[in-house]
Amino acid sequence: MFYLLHGDDEFSCSEALAELRRRMGDPAMTELNTTRFDGPEVSLAELQHACNTIPFFSNRRLVIVDGLLTHLQKMASTEQDKKVLQELVEYLPRMPETTRLILLEPESIPPRHPLRRLIARDEALGYEREFRLPRGRELARWTTRRVRERGGSITPEATAQLAAFVGDNLRLLAQEIEKLLSYVDRTRPITEEDVQLLVSDVREANIFDMVDALGQRDGETASRVFHRRLEGGDHPLALMGMMARQIRILIQVKELSQEGLSREAIARQLGLHPFVVRKALAQERNFSMQQLESIHRRLLETDVALKRGQMDPVLALDMLIAGLALA
């Protein structure tokens, strides 16, 4: 009757949603019978009305809600939000059998949450799955499994290097895998040389160059690298995600370095490839911890503004890079 898909692995969650939509049958009729809401904006009455609506020339109706439970969790101090959650839990068993409600949550929902407890009591009523971003060795296993599922194979060395260069941005990692599989035509394993040829110099090295330029307060070079990446087909949000990941790595590496850990110990503790740690140790010297934390906050603020549609992505990142270079 309803699905709870939650956790910080947005890519795998979106793939699960796409699979549920495919099961609905004819894409045109599925689209006609789909309603999607922004969780913080939708009222319970609007949600119930959409769920109670009879499907149009179809056996099923699909209602998707983004971030409702996460929003209610953060606002749980108010009696009104507690009431909304309670009424939602009471409504779900009465929802028409023709409706499939999908709750997409960007954060993990705790096991004792009322909806998870409802599913535990009656698995025929609901289904929940938690999607967590793979870390360290899990990321390498995810990469190997993804390549195998897409009809190819990859050497362990290439797996480690690919995971190190791209990190836990699974959407970008999946794109890189597709590019590599096309390059080898699925007739031989992807090798370390393939990754170095198609991934490292085009992606990670350029992100390092951009962060290096920001560390040297060279906004012109940082902007030039950014626009070169755009011309190469990269999406602004993907680039910002890679920048945010690199800044997070610099914060972690700097903190552990200040504690006296060796390069090898830092790589083990963070689950990073030694190549990444070596580059990060050279970069973090250009920033104070306060500067890194400030950059990370500004990246997060820009990310929120973009996802809310408040700014043009390219303009927002141009302004961000210019501001960081002057900081």
* Beta strands per DSSP E along the chain: 2-6, 34-38, 61-66, 99-105, 126-130
- The pLDDT of residue 263 is above 60: yes
The CATH fold assigned to 2-130 is Rossmann fold (3.40.50)
Q: Are 194 and 180 in contact (CB under 8 A)?
A: yes
Task: Tell me the pLDDT band of 75, cut-offs 50, 70 and 90.
Answer: low
Closest by alpha carbon to 107, among 133, 125, 81?
133
Task: Tell me the pLDDT band of 203, cut-offs 50, 70 and 90.
Answer: low
Per the model's pLDDT, the better-predicted residue between 202 and 43 turns out to be 43
- pLDDT for 52 equals 92
The residue behind tokens 């009523």 is 125
**Does the pTM of the predicted model rise above 0.75?**
no
- The pLDDT of residue 184 is above 90: yes
What distance separates the 2 farthest-apart alpha carbons in the chain? 66
- pLDDT for 202 equals 45
Task: Tell me the pLDDT band of 284, cut-offs 50, 70 and 90.
Answer: confident
Q: Which two tokens stand for residue 149?
A: 């599922």
Q: Which two tokens stand for residue 282?
A: 């050279």
Across residues 115-124, what is the average pLDDT? 86
Angle between helices 236-258 and 274-283 (to 10 degrees): 80
- pLDDT for 327 equals 62
**Domain ranges, ordered by start, for the chain:** 2-130, 137-326
CB atoms under 10 Å from CB of 298, counted, come to: 16
- The pLDDT of residue 101 is above 90: yes
- pLDDT for 78 equals 63
Across residues 176-195, what is the average pLDDT? 92
In angstroms and rounded to an integer, the radius of gyration of the C-alpha atoms of the chain is 22
- pLDDT for 144 equals 93
- Mean pLDDT of the chain, nearest integer: 84
Question: ∠ CA(223), CA(227), CA(233), 5° rounding?
Answer: 150
What sign for the dihedral angle of Cα 72, 75, 80, 86? Answer: positive
The contacts of residue 284 (CB under 8 Å, 6+ apart) are: 250, 253, 254, 257, 292
- The pLDDT of residue 64 is above 50: yes
Q: How many residues does the chain have?
A: 327
Q: What pLDDT digit, counting tens, does each position of 86-99 carry?
A: 888 899 899 998 99
Q: What is residue 284's DSSP assignment?
A: G
Across residues 128-138, what is the average pLDDT? 86
Q: Are 321 and 217 in contact (CB under 8 A)?
A: no
CB atoms under 10 Å from CB of 221, counted, come to: 16
Q: What pLDDT digit, counting tens, does each position of 296-315 carry?
A: 888 888 888 877 777 788 88
Top-level class of domain 137-326: mainly alpha
- The pLDDT of residue 289 is above 80: yes
